[in-house]
Amino acid sequence: MVNQCLRNTHWLTLCFVVLLAGCVQNPVTGARELGFIGTADEVAIGRQHYGPTQQMEGGEYVLEPALSNYVADVTARLARLSDRELPYEIVVLNSSVPNAWALPGGKMAINRGLLLELESEAELAAVIGHEIIHAAARHGARNIERGMLLEGAMLIAAMAAEDTQYLPFVVVGAQLGAALITQRHSREAEREADLYGMQLMHRAGYDPYAAVTLQETFVRLSEDRRSNWLTGLFASHPPSAERVANNRATAERLGSNGELGRDSHQQAIAELRRRAPAFEAADAGRAALGKRDYAAAEAKILEAIELEPAEASFHGLLGELRLRQNRPEAAIAAFDRALERHEGYYGYWQGRGLAQLQLGQRPAARSDLERGASLLPTAIAMNSLGQLELAAGRQREAREYLNLAAGAGGPAAEQARMTLARLDLPNQPERFFSTRSGVDERGRLIIEVSNRSPLTTGGVVVEVRLQQEDGRVASRRVNVPGRLPANESVRFQSGLNLPVDTPAERVSTRVVAARVVD
């Protein structure tokens, strides 16, 4: 699995060649615009990002298939009338954050948290229509073409076009997908999505005035500065009085002669509303867990489980708590219950794998971590798999996992970088140190050595090379005194004397030996 992610060298050249941009017609607005990302590329980008981005945003909400079918039916009703034919698809995500998003190519999602805030099916159509237009009008593609995320997105598209299995590199792919859905669209793009989204919902038979009431609600909520809204829809789709006025003018032109669907929507979300107290308790438990208030977290998580024992995420959250409490057996039992209810979320596999590692159950841990990484490779999973390979003596495989982990952020990535440095520093010390030198007024050669590694080192040896006037090269090795901590420098007298007027270009220094000091 890991080897395939390293077969990307030839694709990296895509990031350094000059792409010839052609003039294309926007499928929605009809305007002529520069563009070099075609429909096949958009679809490939969306397809590659869709699964990992869902995982990062909470995973699919599977407890109510009827709710997902309802949202999919509304989407299909709109999509069949879209100005652009794309493989439109939507999922309901298991997140209380009110949000909706679209990737290039027509892949979309809406959070259960947003469904609860909508009053009617027409308001839902306004949200989905808006996202359809973002995809149909190439708004995501245009952002990429303007230089945002070009390197990663084009790499994803190129590899997807060859139908390669890209799973090991999704640590980066997931980051790019998250960036694609959280970046702010331009005011022009938002105006287009509002205008043409309203026209689309009107063609589908919905009352366009629902887009006005929707934006009025959003403006009111943004003024209240509700934190879950500020981290959700408002982050990428900021509401404004201008958008309300524009939507009202559009609705007046279109006329209020469509379906509102208040009863149908309220019926569709009735079970979700009934379960709301359970999700609120779980959210409170998650917040307490983040603050390391384990007693409060446990009380709220157990309350959520009592209210809705069928919800997998509550058991998964309990597993996370047990991991934090260093109770791996209890964590495994909780993750087992989560996986019995939903096997498609990476966090349950990863969590159980980490608990098995704590118990020394390496084969089981490897299996679960790999399963979780196939859904969403994370620095945590990749670092853990790298450490397992290293313990088994498979250094090449370990390096591949660790390199993937090291490219991310957080403590696991830092640990991976330290492990790689520990492996490589004794054999390739020049990679981890920089040197410079100079002659003082008394002719003494002064050397400065900087340790760029994340490790404390000792036994550092510097080779000094002097090109003599006759062209011959003389070399000496000098020891750096004492230890050299991570990311620190030391300046010392080398014990060598040179003529004061020795040209700097005739003297070179480099670190040729070092060891890690624990």
- Tell me: the pLDDT tens digits for 11-49? 333 333 334 446 677 888 778 777 778 889 899 989 988
Q: Flag whether 373 is in a domain.
A: no
Contact 177, 69 (CB under 8 A): no
Note the Cα 41 to chain centre separation in Å. 20
Q: Flag whether 424 is in a domain.
A: no
pLDDT category at 209 given cuts 50, 70, 90 is very high
Q: Flag whether 386 is in a domain.
A: no
pLDDT for residue 286: 96
Of 319, 350, 365, the domain-final residue? 365
Both 240 and 360 in one domain: the answer is no
What would the mean pLDDT of 77-105 be, rounded to a whole number? 95
Both 198 and 333 in one domain: the answer is no
pLDDT for residue 268: 98
Both 246 and 276 in one domain: the answer is no
Rg, Å, the chain Cα set: 29
Both 108 and 252 in one domain: the answer is yes
pLDDT for residue 319: 98
Residue 403 burial by Cβ neighbours in a 10 Å radius (0-12, 13-18, 19+)? middle
Q: Residue written as tokens 């958009």?
A: 42
Residue-wise pLDDT for 53-70, tens only, equals: 999 999 999 999 999 999
pLDDT for residue 502: 84
Contact 496, 462 (CB under 8 A): no
Q: Flag whether 414 is in a domain.
A: no
Both 93 and 156 in one domain: the answer is yes
What would the mean pLDDT of 356-383 be, rounded to a whole number? 96
Q: What CATH number is attached to the domain comprising 334?
A: 1.25.40.10
Q: Burial code of 210-231, b = ≥16 C-beta within 10 A, e = fewer?
A: bbbbbbbbbbebbeeeeebbee
pLDDT for residue 190: 86
Other beta carbons less than 10 A from residue 2's beta carbon: 22
Both 182 and 263 in one domain: the answer is yes
Contact 461, 513 (CB under 8 A): yes
| Sign, CA torsion 149/191/81/84 | negative
Q: What CATH number is attached to the domain comprising 434?
A: 2.60.40
Could you give phi then psi for residue 37, rounded to 5 degrees? -95, 115
Both 121 and 198 in one domain: the answer is yes
Note the Cα 351 to chain centre separation in Å. 18
Of 268, 303, 336, the domain-final residue? 268
Of 240, 268, 296, the domain-final residue? 268
Both 217 and 288 in one domain: the answer is no
What would the mean pLDDT of 351-373 be, rounded to a whole number? 97
C-alpha–C-alpha distance, residues 308 and 339, integer Å: 16
Both 356 and 502 in one domain: the answer is no
C-alpha–C-alpha distance, residues 169 and 150, integer Å: 16
Number of folded domains in the chain?
Answer: 3
- Our CA angle for 271, 80, 179, nearest 5°, is 70
Q: Which domain holds residue 310?
A: 272-365
235: amino acid identity, one letter: A
pLDDT for residue 460: 97
pLDDT for residue 176: 66
Q: Flag whether 417 is in a domain.
A: no
Q: Flag whether 311 is in a domain.
A: yes
Bridge partners (DSSP) of residue 435 are: 449
Q: Flag whether 507 is in a domain.
A: yes
pLDDT for residue 13: 34
Q: Flag whether 403 is in a domain.
A: no
Contact 313, 335 (CB under 8 A): no
pLDDT of 419 higher than 90: yes
Residue-wise pLDDT for 461-470, tens only, equals: 999 999 987 7
Tokens describing residue 86? 């794309």
